[in-house]
Amino acid sequence: MTEMAAPRDYYGKALVELGKKNENVVVLDADLSSSTRTSMFAKAYPERFFNIGIAEQNLIGIAAGLANLGKVVFASSFAMFISGRAWDQVRNSVVYPKLNVKIAATHAGITVGEDGATHQALEDIAIMRVLPSLNVLVPADAIEAFQMIKYAAATPGPFYIRMSRGATPLVFKDSDYIFELGKSKILVEGKDVAIIASGIMVDVALKAAAELKKENIAATVVNLSSIKPIDVETIVKVAKATGCVVSAEEHSVYAGVGSAVAEVLALNYPVPMEMVAVQGVFGESGKPEELLDKHNLNVNGILEKVRKVVARK
């Protein structure tokens, strides 16, 4: 049976571990600590936890102030709110002065489910990766999320870390994975197509690669978790090795992971490419699995794009 875990749960665990090791770590939340799992840190270190309330702009402003005082600041809310409502403050108060604020956003993508379009961030990678000096990360699973949080805490400067809501299959094991900023990881190697995936779509890509074997299509699968800075070297390497690329992400098709990959290919090694993503529409209320199927963010969606891009070679 596949082991499952929610990235946000491991985010909470990582915060508690960091709080024990570093008294300068402080955590802020926008009245959603039970959902973002910052409540774990609040229980362990109440004097270093601040619930700012439903005021995301103020949350980012206070985070910037604490960072100016030498604190290692984690600021959390749902991805839709902390990227959308507070973008101006993120840009001007955190990223422009390159402050040591780690924006850890949970409940990203359409797998927020029944909360509907207003809560489903499908644009956050686009609006965050455009900001200079902001590192943008999307973990493939809970293990990688845990590693990312520890890495961000030890690395000066601003980060945006995007996590999903629900439990997802574990792609990695604690004992054999180390996160590296600006690096991606080739999980499966094949000669016919490269599937470059992020977040929850990494596990889906691995399942699709297994199905493609039955069609005599050998797929490379890449976990692209560092969206910015992006791993140009690996993207070009797999494009040269396979001659075509499919991207897969739980985000809008516009200006997300697929666009970032396409930029790399256009500038370095153009090959046929297809994108698995939400096709420029808002989300809606529904069960996560049903929404993923509706928007073809599933194995069949990847298979369809792979067949199309291989035929274009």
Distance CA 80, CA 86 (A): 10
223-271: pLDDT as tens digits: 999 999 999 999 999 999 999 999 999 999 999 999 999 999 999 999 9
Compute the half-sphere exposure of residue 117: CA atoms within 13 Å on the CB side of its CA.
7
Instruction: Supply the CATH classification number for the domain 4-169.
Output: 3.40.50.970
**Cα(70)–Cα(232) distance, integer angstroms:** 33
- CB burial of residue 156 (10 Å; 0-12, 13-18, 19+): exposed
DSSP state letter for 254 = S
Q: Which of 56, 123, 249, 250 is catalytic?
A: 56
Note whether 4-169 and 185-312 share their fold: yes
pLDDT for the residue numbered 173: 83
Among residues of the chain, what percentage have pLDDT more than 90?
Answer: 98
Q: What is the pLDDT of residue 1?
A: 64
The pair of structure tokens assigned to 300 is 């069949």
Ranges of the chain with pLDDT below 70: 1, 175
Ranges of beta strands (E only) in 10-139 are: 25-29, 49-51, 72-78, 101-106, 135-137
Predicted TM-score (pTM) of the model is 0.97
Q: At what angle do helices 7-21 and 142-154 cross, to 10 degrees?
A: 30
Q: Which two tokens stand for residue 96?
A: 């422009």
The CATH class, in words, for 185-312 is: alpha beta
pLDDT at residue 72, rounded to an integer: 98
Distance between CA atoms of residues 292 and 296, nearest Å = 6
Q: Are 276 and 247 in contact (CB under 8 A)?
A: yes
Residues 6+ apart with CB under 8 A from 289: none
pLDDT at res. 181: 98
Contacts of 119 (CB under 8 A, 6+ apart): 78, 80, 107, 112
Of the candidates 251, 254, 252, 125, which has an alpha carbon nearest to the alpha carbon of residue 200? 251
Show me where the domains of the chain are located: 4-169, 185-312
User: 80, 93, 74, 84: which is closest to 145 by C-alpha?
Assistant: 74
56 is catalytic: yes
